[in-house]
Amino acid sequence: MRFLASIVLLFLAGLMPGSFFAPVTAAYACGVETDCVMGDRTYRIRMPEGHDGKTRIGALVFMHGYKGSAAGTMRNANLARVADELGVALIAPKSAGNDWDLPGVPRNTKSTGENEFRYFEALIADVSKHFPIDTERLVATGFSAGGMMVWNLACHRGHLFAGFAPLSGTFWDPIPDTCPSAPVHLIHMHGTSDPVVPLAGRAIVDTSQGDVLEAMALFATAGGFERESPSDVLDLKCKRRTNADKRILELCLHAGGHRFSADYLLRAWEEFRKAGAL
């Protein structure tokens, strides 16, 4: 009886030679509807439609805004659509509280951001251990406060990602004088009529948002990015600089407010790919 039970289990697992059952698709302990737990922090992940469970793929790592959540990111059908079109995973980190703990953040302006930087190091290690993710093909992106997280990662942990695509976010004041990271590929997208995170920033509680143009200037100077080349794409007016290593530094503006289109990320991924980053 035990032998027969073992045979049945092997058939059900799709492991017997000549089995009529299709091989079982990889089952993950967490994903779209369930948190992946790392100590006291979590994240969620969505593999693209039709993924075979084995092939290593890249990922969009999307950081939520103030009071956002990983669950909310997973409910965004447009982000899922873009990830499917690119054939990549969608990874949704989660801040420890309502906001990302960044240098200059309101009510904790003395923060160094190290807690968040270590969290992203741990997240990437955990993802690569439990999912077929190619950690050489990760793009960091996020909206509003999530965009602020992206800028700080680009500055302090640039080696973790192949490219950075912040949306409607910037540093908190003061903008760093220098960045420890080497020059990175970065495409920033922002609305010229944004009242929540204006291009020039605004005061909030005991601090202020930084000026986006100053942040771009910091990266341009430090990375040796040369004169701007303009282009129009989608509803964006873009100005791109490149450096001697062919890295991209680009500012893309739309005429709207505090919003973004998921198609911006589709375009950013393709631009990073064409530049050889992915």
Residues 66 and 140 occupy one common structural domain:
yes
Residues 185 and 88 occupy one common structural domain:
yes
- What's the number of domains the chain is made of? 2
Residues 17 and 76 occupy one common structural domain:
no
Q: Along the chain (278 residues), what's the average pLDDT of each consecutive run of 10 residues?
A: 39 33 53 96 96 96 98 98 98 97 95 97 97 98 98 98 98 96 98 98 96 98 95 97 97 98 98 97
pLDDT for res 28: 80
pLDDT for res 26: 55
Q: Which CATH number fits the domain that encloses residue 135?
A: 3.40.50.1820
Q: How many CB atoms lie within 10 A of CB 113?
A: 20
Q: How many CB atoms lie within 10 A of CB 125?
A: 12
pLDDT for res 5: 43
pLDDT for res 13: 36
- For helices 114-130 and 145-156, angle between their N-to-C axes, nearest 10 degrees: 90
Residues 67 and 26 occupy one common structural domain:
no
Residues 19 and 45 occupy one common structural domain:
no
pLDDT for res 29: 85
Q: How many CB atoms lie within 10 A of CB 8?
A: 11
CA 84 to the chain's CA centroid:
15
Residues 69 and 8 occupy one common structural domain:
no
Residues 85 and 20 occupy one common structural domain:
no
pLDDT for res 11: 35
pLDDT for res 24: 30
Residues 13 and 39 occupy one common structural domain:
no
- Say if residue 55 is exposed, middle or buried (CB neighbours under 10 Å; 0-12, 13-18, 19+): exposed
Range of the structural domain that residue 19 is part of: 1-30
pLDDT for res 27: 62
Residues 17 and 143 occupy one common structural domain:
no
Q: What is the dihedral of CA 166, 169, 172, 175, to 10 degrees?
A: 50
Residues 5 and 57 occupy one common structural domain:
no
Residues 179 and 116 occupy one common structural domain:
yes
* DSSP bridge partners of 91: 45, 61
- Say how far apart CA 129 and CA 214 lie, in whole Å: 38
Residues 189 and 86 occupy one common structural domain:
yes
